[in-house]
């Protein structure tokens, strides 16, 4: 078993970046510990506040955000952070080289039912020659990410990470408090018979997605001529982890349920990091009309449609959008 530091050194990853990922992992270990204490630590339930997205904040959303924010801003490596739980960017060190976007606790509606949640992160460099800390610095397409990953807090705590040289999976060994390498190269199978989507939104989708999912459900009685199975964890981090582990297609498509919010998932700290991982594992990630990592962001909390996973299945789905 290898720890992730020596493994990343083999890839010639910059020592500052390794140090930043290590720092981030220190806060994720603490989140993992607190989650496992659960009800005993009085950390379940909601606060009385809403975040910028208008969603009720869970106590653990707030705690996780604070833990990650504090450690990153004090690291000396980070110029600024953008978090799902912060209205605006927060400045760190003047000389910090990195910008970190994160969702401190994705799938937080799962907290109270003791189910899967995770931390998602995306790391970029400050564009050359730029001083201070501005929101504009963050508005770089996903292709500019130098690292991305998530920590999944499940029966075991796992880190899934890319620095642009494939995808590795590490498992937290609680006896020594270290992430150990448990899968050197995660690859998404090209074909699948499993899909993940919130079916209760079906009537609100656009025509191409309605037709695609109808054809999956028709199984071997329809044009696809094979049966599909459906899984929905209601935490993107859990659904994407399944796709990375055994293939599948995950989508949160555009819908008309809330006309003010046609897309649910956030580009900078959900769709981009997951797209980087999925592409590095041989999969495809798109809005239906555009590669997600090529979107030019216009603001840090913007939302996008997401279709990602097994290459051949995502390509089939994209065929319906042409
Ligand atoms: O961040 C949004 C999120 O929690 C995702 O992790 C998840 O895929 C989605 O919302 C689930 O939302 P819903 O169950 O409302 O469709």
- Nearest Cα residue to atom 12 of ligand 1: 234
159: three-class secondary structure by DSSP: strand
Are residues 37 and 145 both part of a single domain? yes
Task: Return phi, psi of residue 14, to 5°.
Answer: -50, 135
Q: What is the pLDDT of residue 252?
A: 98
Nearest to 161 by CA among 148, 172, 179: 148
All residue ranges of the chain with pLDDT < 50 are none
Q: What is the pLDDT of residue 202?
A: 97
Are residues 157 and 270 both part of a single domain? no
Q: What is the pLDDT of residue 229?
A: 98
Are residues 17 and 69 both part of a single domain? yes
Strands 249-252 and 194-196: parallel
Q: What is the pLDDT of residue 23?
A: 97
**Rounded CA gap, 100 and 1, in Å?**
28
Angle at 235 between CA 137 and CA 194, to 5 degrees: 115
Structural domain contains residue 188: no
CATH at residue 222: 3.40.190.80
User: 278 C-alpha to center of ligand 1: Å?
Assistant: 18
Are residues 178 and 287 both part of a single domain? no
Expressed as residue numbers, the domain containing 158 is 4-183
**Rounded CA gap, 234 and 118, in Å?**
12
Total domain count, the chain: 2
CB of 306 shorter than 6 A to ligand 1: no
CATH at residue 37: 3.30.540.10
DSSP state of 175: T
Are residues 224 and 179 both part of a single domain? no
For the whole model, what pTM was predicted?
0.96
**H or E element at residue 296:** none
DSSP state of 91: E
What's the whole-number average pLDDT of the chain? Answer: 95
Q: What is the pLDDT of residue 40?
A: 84
Structural domain contains residue 86: yes
Here the tokens at position 3 are 């720890």
User: 252 C-alpha to center of ligand 1: Å?
Assistant: 8
Nearest to 197 by CA among 140, 139, 129, 253: 253
Are residues 38 and 169 both part of a single domain? yes
Q: What is the pLDDT of residue 51?
A: 67
Structural domain contains residue 241: yes
Are residues 142 and 273 both part of a single domain? no
């Amino acid at each position: 078993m290898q720890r992730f530091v020596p493994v990343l050194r083999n890839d010639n990853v910059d020592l500052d970046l390794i140090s930043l990922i290590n720092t981030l992992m220190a806060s994720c270990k603490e989140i993992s510990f607190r989650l496992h204490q659960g009800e005993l630590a009085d950390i379940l339930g909601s606060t009385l506040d809403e975040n910028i997205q208008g969603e009720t904040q869970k106590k653990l959303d707030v705690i996780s955000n604070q833990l990650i924010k504090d450690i990153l801003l004090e690291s000396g490596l980070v110029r600024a952070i953008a978090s799902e739980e912060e209205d605006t960017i927060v400045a760190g060190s003047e000389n910090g080289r990195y910008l970190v976007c994160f969702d401190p606790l994705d799938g937080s509606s799962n907290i109270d039912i003791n189910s899967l949640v995770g931390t998602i992160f995306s790391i970029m460099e400050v564009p050359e020659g730029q001083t201070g800390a501005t929101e504009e610095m963050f508005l770089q397409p996903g292709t500019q990410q130098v690292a991305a990953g998530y920590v999944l807090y499940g029966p075991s705590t796992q880190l899934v990470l890319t620095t642009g040289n494939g995808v590795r999976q590490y498992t937290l060994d609680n006896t020594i408090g270290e992430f150990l390498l448990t899968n050197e190269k995660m690859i998404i199978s090209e074909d699948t018979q499993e899909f993940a989507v919130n079916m209760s939104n079906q009537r609100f989708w656009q025509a191409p997605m309605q037709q695609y999912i109808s054809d999956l459900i028709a199984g071997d009685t329809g044009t696809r001529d094979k049966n599909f199975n459906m899984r929905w964890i209601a935490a993107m981090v859990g659904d994407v982890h399944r796709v990375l582990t055994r293939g599948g297609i995950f989508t949160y498509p555009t819908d008309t349920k809330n006309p003010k919010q046609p897309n649910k998932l956030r580009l900078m700290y959900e769709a981009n990091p997951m797209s980087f991982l999925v592409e590095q594992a041989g999969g495809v990630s798109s809005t239906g009309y555009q590669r997600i990592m090529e979107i030019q962001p216009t603001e840090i909390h913007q939302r996008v449609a997401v279709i990602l996973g097994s290459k051949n299945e995502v390509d089939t789905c994209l065929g319906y959008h042409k």
